[in-house]
A = this chain, B = another copy of it.
Amino acid sequence: MQQGLALMSQSGLEGITLGVLAHQVGMSKSGLFAHFQSKEDVQIGLLDYMAELANARVVAPAMRAAEGLPQLNVLVANWLGWAQRAGLPGGCPVAAGLFEFDDVESPVRDKIQELEGRWRNLLTRIVERAASLGHLRPDLDVDQFVWELSGIYLGHHAAHRFLRAADADRRAQIAFQALLERAGAAAAKTPPKPKKRKSSR
Protein backbone atom coordinates (compact mmCIF):
# COMPACT_ATOMS: atom_id res chain seq x y z
CA MET A 1 0.00 0.00 0.00
CA GLN A 2 2.76 2.42 1.00
CA GLN A 3 4.50 1.89 -2.35
CA GLY A 4 1.26 2.31 -4.24
CA LEU A 5 0.58 5.51 -2.37
CA ALA A 6 4.10 6.81 -2.99
CA LEU A 7 3.56 6.14 -6.69
CA MET A 8 0.19 7.87 -6.66
CA SER A 9 1.61 10.91 -4.92
CA GLN A 10 4.09 11.31 -7.74
CA SER A 11 2.12 10.40 -10.82
CA GLY A 12 -1.21 11.88 -9.76
CA LEU A 13 -4.31 9.80 -9.21
CA GLU A 14 -5.05 9.42 -12.90
CA GLY A 15 -1.41 8.74 -13.68
CA ILE A 16 -1.49 5.41 -11.88
CA THR A 17 -1.48 2.48 -14.20
CA LEU A 18 -2.21 -0.95 -12.87
CA GLY A 19 0.85 -2.33 -14.62
CA VAL A 20 3.27 0.08 -12.95
CA LEU A 21 1.49 -0.27 -9.62
CA ALA A 22 1.64 -4.06 -9.79
CA HIS A 23 5.35 -3.85 -10.52
CA GLN A 24 5.91 -1.46 -7.60
CA VAL A 25 4.09 -3.58 -5.06
CA GLY A 26 5.53 -6.79 -6.44
CA MET A 27 2.25 -8.31 -7.55
CA SER A 28 0.99 -9.45 -10.89
CA LYS A 29 -1.69 -7.37 -12.56
CA SER A 30 -4.11 -10.23 -12.15
CA GLY A 31 -3.18 -10.51 -8.46
CA LEU A 32 -3.91 -6.82 -8.10
CA PHE A 33 -7.26 -7.26 -9.81
CA ALA A 34 -8.15 -9.99 -7.34
CA HIS A 35 -8.07 -7.27 -4.67
CA PHE A 36 -9.58 -4.42 -6.65
CA GLN A 37 -12.31 -4.48 -9.26
CA SER A 38 -11.13 -1.47 -11.24
CA LYS A 39 -8.60 1.33 -11.41
CA GLU A 40 -11.07 3.52 -9.49
CA ASP A 41 -11.16 0.89 -6.75
CA VAL A 42 -7.39 1.08 -6.53
CA GLN A 43 -7.45 4.88 -6.34
CA ILE A 44 -10.11 4.85 -3.63
CA GLY A 45 -8.25 2.16 -1.71
CA LEU A 46 -5.08 4.21 -1.83
CA LEU A 47 -6.93 7.36 -0.70
CA ASP A 48 -8.41 5.49 2.27
CA TYR A 49 -4.97 4.22 3.17
CA MET A 50 -3.65 7.78 2.83
CA ALA A 51 -6.31 8.97 5.28
CA GLU A 52 -5.14 6.38 7.83
CA LEU A 53 -1.59 7.56 7.36
CA ALA A 54 -2.63 11.22 7.81
CA ASN A 55 -4.53 10.31 10.95
CA ALA A 56 -1.48 8.64 12.43
CA ARG A 57 0.99 11.31 11.33
CA VAL A 58 -0.99 14.55 11.61
CA VAL A 59 -4.11 14.09 13.71
CA ALA A 60 -2.90 11.73 16.45
CA PRO A 61 -0.03 13.97 17.66
CA ALA A 62 -2.44 16.93 17.80
CA MET A 63 -4.93 14.92 19.87
CA ARG A 64 -2.21 14.42 22.47
CA ALA A 65 -1.73 18.21 22.81
CA ALA A 66 -3.77 20.43 25.13
CA GLU A 67 -7.14 21.43 23.69
CA GLY A 68 -7.61 24.72 21.86
CA LEU A 69 -4.73 26.74 20.47
CA PRO A 70 -1.96 24.27 21.44
CA GLN A 71 -3.82 21.52 19.55
CA LEU A 72 -4.29 23.78 16.52
CA ASN A 73 -0.59 24.69 16.51
CA VAL A 74 0.51 21.05 16.63
CA LEU A 75 -1.99 20.10 13.93
CA VAL A 76 -0.82 22.81 11.52
CA ALA A 77 2.87 22.10 12.20
CA ASN A 78 2.29 18.44 11.34
CA TRP A 79 -0.01 19.18 8.40
CA LEU A 80 2.30 21.41 6.37
CA GLY A 81 4.53 19.10 4.35
CA TRP A 82 3.10 15.99 6.05
CA ALA A 83 2.97 13.88 2.89
CA GLN A 84 6.68 13.94 2.20
CA ARG A 85 7.50 13.18 5.81
CA ALA A 86 5.10 10.23 5.59
CA GLY A 87 6.99 8.78 2.64
CA LEU A 88 4.88 10.21 -0.17
CA PRO A 89 7.52 11.92 -2.26
CA GLY A 90 4.95 13.46 -4.61
CA GLY A 91 3.08 15.42 -1.95
CA CYS A 92 -0.50 15.26 -0.73
CA PRO A 93 -2.81 13.30 -3.06
CA VAL A 94 -5.90 15.13 -1.81
CA ALA A 95 -4.41 18.55 -2.53
CA ALA A 96 -3.54 17.40 -6.04
CA GLY A 97 -6.95 15.78 -6.38
CA LEU A 98 -8.68 19.12 -5.65
CA PHE A 99 -7.23 20.34 -8.95
CA GLU A 100 -7.19 17.08 -10.89
CA PHE A 101 -10.78 16.03 -10.20
CA ASP A 102 -12.60 19.36 -10.20
CA ASP A 103 -14.42 18.56 -13.45
CA VAL A 104 -14.60 14.80 -13.22
CA GLU A 105 -17.73 13.15 -11.87
CA SER A 106 -16.58 9.84 -10.42
CA PRO A 107 -16.42 7.80 -7.22
CA VAL A 108 -12.82 8.98 -6.89
CA ARG A 109 -13.98 12.61 -6.82
CA ASP A 110 -16.59 11.65 -4.22
CA LYS A 111 -13.88 10.06 -2.07
CA ILE A 112 -11.66 13.17 -2.31
CA GLN A 113 -14.62 15.36 -1.42
CA GLU A 114 -15.42 13.14 1.57
CA LEU A 115 -11.82 13.28 2.84
CA GLU A 116 -11.55 17.04 2.28
CA GLY A 117 -14.90 17.56 4.02
CA ARG A 118 -13.84 15.43 6.99
CA TRP A 119 -10.58 17.33 7.20
CA ARG A 120 -12.25 20.76 7.13
CA ASN A 121 -14.73 19.58 9.77
CA LEU A 122 -11.88 18.54 12.02
CA LEU A 123 -10.19 21.93 11.56
CA THR A 124 -13.51 23.65 12.26
CA ARG A 125 -14.05 21.73 15.51
CA ILE A 126 -10.54 22.48 16.76
CA VAL A 127 -10.76 26.20 15.90
CA GLU A 128 -14.22 26.42 17.50
CA ARG A 129 -12.83 24.81 20.63
CA ALA A 130 -9.95 27.30 20.69
CA ALA A 131 -12.46 30.15 20.45
CA SER A 132 -14.72 28.71 23.16
CA LEU A 133 -11.69 28.34 25.47
CA GLY A 134 -10.85 32.01 24.94
CA HIS A 135 -7.67 31.26 22.97
CA LEU A 136 -9.21 32.98 19.95
CA ARG A 137 -11.86 35.69 19.64
CA PRO A 138 -15.31 34.45 20.72
CA ASP A 139 -16.92 36.09 17.66
CA LEU A 140 -14.39 34.58 15.23
CA ASP A 141 -15.70 33.64 11.77
CA VAL A 142 -14.49 30.05 12.06
CA ASP A 143 -15.41 29.09 8.49
CA GLN A 144 -13.40 32.02 7.16
CA PHE A 145 -10.45 31.01 9.36
CA VAL A 146 -10.53 27.44 8.05
CA TRP A 147 -10.95 28.69 4.47
CA GLU A 148 -7.86 30.89 4.73
CA LEU A 149 -5.85 28.20 6.50
CA SER A 150 -6.66 25.83 3.63
CA GLY A 151 -5.37 28.48 1.21
CA ILE A 152 -2.12 28.71 3.18
CA TYR A 153 -1.78 24.92 2.91
CA LEU A 154 -2.33 24.95 -0.86
CA GLY A 155 0.02 27.92 -1.28
CA HIS A 156 2.65 26.04 0.73
CA HIS A 157 2.14 22.89 -1.33
CA ALA A 158 2.66 24.82 -4.58
CA ALA A 159 5.63 26.79 -3.25
CA HIS A 160 7.31 23.79 -1.67
CA ARG A 161 6.58 21.14 -4.28
CA PHE A 162 6.27 22.91 -7.63
CA LEU A 163 8.35 26.07 -7.16
CA ARG A 164 10.74 24.21 -4.83
CA ALA A 165 11.10 27.41 -2.84
CA ALA A 166 13.44 27.09 0.13
CA ASP A 167 11.39 29.57 2.16
CA ALA A 168 8.03 27.80 1.80
CA ASP A 169 7.89 26.63 5.44
CA ARG A 170 8.87 30.04 6.78
CA ARG A 171 6.34 31.91 4.61
CA ALA A 172 3.54 29.51 5.58
CA GLN A 173 4.38 30.02 9.26
CA ILE A 174 4.31 33.82 8.90
CA ALA A 175 0.94 33.59 7.15
CA PHE A 176 -0.44 31.26 9.82
CA GLN A 177 0.80 33.46 12.66
CA ALA A 178 -0.82 36.51 11.03
CA LEU A 179 -4.08 34.58 10.68
CA LEU A 180 -3.89 33.63 14.37
CA GLU A 181 -3.20 37.22 15.34
CA ARG A 182 -6.22 38.44 13.37
CA ALA A 183 -8.22 35.77 15.18
CA GLY A 184 -7.23 37.26 18.51
CA ALA A 185 -4.59 34.72 19.44
CA ALA A 186 -2.20 37.46 20.58
CA ALA A 187 -4.29 37.72 23.73
CA ALA A 188 -3.53 34.09 24.46
CA LYS A 189 0.19 34.83 24.38
CA THR A 190 0.06 37.61 26.96
CA PRO A 191 0.61 36.35 30.51
CA PRO A 192 -2.54 35.85 32.55
CA LYS A 193 -3.75 38.84 34.52
CA PRO A 194 -2.41 39.16 38.06
CA LYS A 195 -4.93 37.64 40.40
CA LYS A 196 -4.79 40.29 43.09
CA ARG A 197 -8.44 41.00 42.97
CA LYS A 198 -11.38 39.16 41.60
CA SER A 199 -12.75 40.60 38.40
CA SER A 200 -16.46 40.45 37.81
CA ARG A 201 -15.88 39.58 34.13
Q: Give me the interface of A with B, judged by CB distance under 8 Å.
A: 10-12, 14-15, 89-91, 95-103, 112-113, 116, 141, 143-144, 147-148, 150-152, 154-159, 161-163, 171, 174-175, 178, 182
Contacts and interface: CB of A to CB of B under 8 A. Distances in A.
A116 to B, nearest CB: 7
Nearest to A89: B103
Contact of A154 (B11, B102, B151): B151
A188 to B, nearest CB: 19
Nearest to A97: B162
A141 B171 CA distance: 11
Contacts of A103: 10-11, 89-91, 161
A102 B90 contact: yes
- For the complex, would chain A's binding face be called helix, strand, loop or mixed by DSSP majority? helix
A118 to B, nearest CB: 13
A99 B158 contact: yes
Nearest to A109: B162
A161 to B, nearest CB: 4
A68 B157 CA distance: 29
A7 to B, nearest CB: 11
A157 B90 contact: no
A174 B99 contact: no
Contacts of A161: 99, 102-103
A113 B161 CA distance: 12
Contact of A113 (B11, B15, B143, B162): B162
